Structure 1
Amino acid sequence: MGSNTNTIFFFALFFIYLSFPEISLANSEVDDETSFTYEQKTEKGPEGWGQINPEWKVCNTGRFQSPIDLTNERVSLIHDQAWNRQYQPAPAVITNRGHDIMVSWKGDAGKITIRQTDFKLVQCHWHSPSEHTVNGTRYDLELHMVHTSARGRTAVIGVLYKLGKPNEFLTKLLNGIKAVGNKEVDLGVIDPREIRFQTRKFYRYIGSLTVPPCTEGVLWTVVKRVNTISMEQITALREAVDDGFETNSRPVQDSKGRSVWFYDPNV
């Protein structure tokens, strides 16, 4: 498939994304995590999320569910303007949501721009092990950076991690992670630029929230380069959440023929 044809198909993909209802998704993840679990083959596990609550039925019936396996056999190369990042330091807090640990910015932490649409950075959180897989490989951790547009669209950046050297961003948050309980902890000013992820090569597709209610219409960007994290940092994240959520990764979902685009400036 030629590059011009790929670009046309990508425009079609973006128009599909814009066709989803303009509902803010950043804060729509379920608050009461006691009603579901990540333990597979149980009544409250991922296979049954759609039956727990009528408002969650899309978890089982949707056609744009996340995460997925990002396999080379499915991706199409695209040559197009990828995105623009303009992050900046802002006051932030850390919260234990039960099923994960979340850092949310209370001030203006900047934005990303995708196809002339601005998405404001709202929060980030972690899943261990990773939710997305690459050619069947599941990594040790995945960071999700959640952004919303003025019209209620949601774009999420996924960053993958494997065991190795400590992650500098998490090192600065470690005391806050260990101290967080049922109340949010003030972190002071946090600079999202310190997350330091590579942006030259990445995957992009239309998916969903990976936590009930599994709302669809999320524009996903998963960075190809894998960063490193220490076992101490993974352990801190796992021990901070409620019992039963030490591993908080939804299984890979059926892509149902969706297009996945891969950006590589060297090809």
Structure 2
Amino acid sequence: MLFKSLLFASTASATCLHGLSMFKRAAGAENGTVEINTFGYGPENGPFNWASLAPENEACKAGLNQSPINIGTDLPAGNLKKRNVIIHKRACVNETSSDATIGAAANRPVVDIPDQAVEFENLGTTIEVVVNGTTSFNGTDFRLVQFHMHTPSEHHINDEYFPLEVHMVHQGVLDNTQLAVIAMMFQVSAGDSDPVIAGLSSSLEAIATPGTKTKIEDGLDFSGVLSKIESSDILQYTGSLTTPPCAEGVTFLVVKDPLDVGVADFNAIKSIVKFNSRFIQNTLGQDNMLTIGANSGAVAANVTA
């Protein structure tokens, strides 16, 4: 596989150092295994209770700029601006009006992913590929750390969810609190999977059990990902990690148009990952959904008391 270039629109500084916990390798794991995450998606350890699992997870229930969100691209341009969403058009658009914010193609950084063996892991809450890459943007260097999967998608576009979402996580080289995530949507197809998914399919059985990992010596082909990023609008906003500690200040770059995942590959992924999608969060800058729910419950209790 030759060097692959991925284009994306911005980076962000995480407001909480705990955001780096997602990059910690499994210090306590034995050879050939990885540490399993302690949070989950069930009634006791799921998103409604993440804040109670550890003090550093407070943003999960109190943060005002949480992810994922529904991005309504069919809204009037003025409403998109008010919602702090920037659309980076696939064409070479370089204009800004009083009603909309349109990103310039020249602002898109380039990510290079060299030919390499990758590590494929089952963390219990997701399956993850540890992969190295370098990103240059506006004189700053970043590195691609890993990508992982969510079924179904966490983000919604125009109220539509997708069967699968992949998060490509980037970290600043000089300032490792700077985080950016490219979010790729996948739609189930009767045809073949995108090459990056196809390259993982033969190794899924090896990591079917949580805590296991395997190495893919031949690496992965990111050509389909590159092509989709180049041909699709990119929807940018600043939100949070979608898993504990839900640290904010993370730039999300949601690629609007989906890639393909074949039926057999999707079913194989889903059987391992199962359900691992956080619920949609409130409009950026507004009260946390859990705060609203708690306040509503308190009001109802007072009324009935």
State the aligned residue count.
Answer: 234
Relative distance call for 1:29 and 1:154 in structure 2 (3 A) is farther
Alignment gaps of 5+ in structure 1: 1-12, 259-267
Q: Contact between 1:133 and 1:139, CA under 8 Å: does it hold in 2?
A: yes
**Post-superposition offset of 1:25:** 5.4
Q: 196, 199, 212: which one pairs with 1:172?
A: 199
User: What is the distance in 1 between the residues matched to 2:182 and 2:119?
Assistant: 20
Q: 227, 244, 249: which one pairs with 2:277?
A: 249
Q: 117, 130, 133: which one pairs with 2:153?
A: 130
TM-score, scaled relative to structure 2: 0.69
Residue 289 of structure 2 is matched in structure 1 by: none
Residue 140 of structure 1 is matched in structure 2 by: 163
User: What is the distance in 1 between the residues matched to 2:65 and 2:140?
Assistant: 21
What amino acid sits opposite 1:97 in the alignment? L
Residue 291 of structure 2 is matched in structure 1 by: none
Residue 302 of structure 2 is matched in structure 1 by: none
Deviation readout 1:105-125 (Å, 9 max, x if unpaired): 2xxx32233333222111111
**Post-superposition offset of 1:220:** 1.0
**Post-superposition offset of 1:154:** 1.4
Q: Contact between 2:16 and 2:248, CA under 8 Å: does it hold in 1?
A: no
What amino acid sits opposite 2:23 in the alignment? N
Residue 225 of structure 1 is matched in structure 2 by: 257
**Post-superposition offset of 1:78:** 1.8
Residue 235 of structure 2 is matched in structure 1 by: 203
Q: Contact between 2:129 and 2:147, CA under 8 Å: does it hold in 1?
A: yes
Residue 20 of structure 1 is matched in structure 2 by: 15
Relative distance call for 1:222 and 1:19 in structure 2 (3 A) is closer
Residue 187 of structure 2 is matched in structure 1 by: 162
Residue 239 of structure 1 is matched in structure 2 by: 271
My pick for the range that moved more, 87-96 or 185-194, is 185-194
**Post-superposition offset of 1:223:** 0.7
**Post-superposition offset of 1:177:** 1.3
Task: State whether structure 2 residue 214 is matched by structure 1 residue 214.
Answer: no
Percent of aligned positions with the same letter in both sequences?
A: 28
User: What is the distance in 1 between the residues matched to 2:24 and 2:237?
Assistant: 20
User: What is the distance in 2 between the residues matched to 1:221 and 1:155?
Assistant: 8
Deviation readout 1:159-183 (Å, 9 max, x if unpaired): 0011113322211211211211333
Query: What secondary structure sits across from 1:205 in the alignment?
Result: strand
User: What is the distance in 2 between the residues matched to 1:215 and 1:251?
Assistant: 16
Report the RMSD for the aligned CA atoms in angstroms. Answer: 2.5
Residue 45 of structure 2 is matched in structure 1 by: 44
User: What is the distance in 2 between the residues matched to 1:111 and 1:118?
Assistant: 7
Residue 118 of structure 1 is matched in structure 2 by: 141
Alignment gaps of 5+ in structure 2: 1-9, 27-34, 86-99, 287-305
Q: Contact between 2:169 and 2:180, CA under 8 Å: does it hold in 1?
A: yes
Query: What secondary structure sits across from 2:275 in the alignment?
Result: coil
TM-score, scaled relative to structure 1: 0.78
What amino acid sits opposite 1:249 in the alignment? S
Q: Contact between 1:92 and 1:190, CA under 8 Å: does it hold in 2?
A: yes
What amino acid sits opposite 2:58 in the alignment? K
Relative distance call for 1:28 and 1:211 in structure 2 (3 A) is farther
**Post-superposition offset of 1:29:** 9.7
Query: What secondary structure sits across from 2:201 in the alignment?
Result: helix
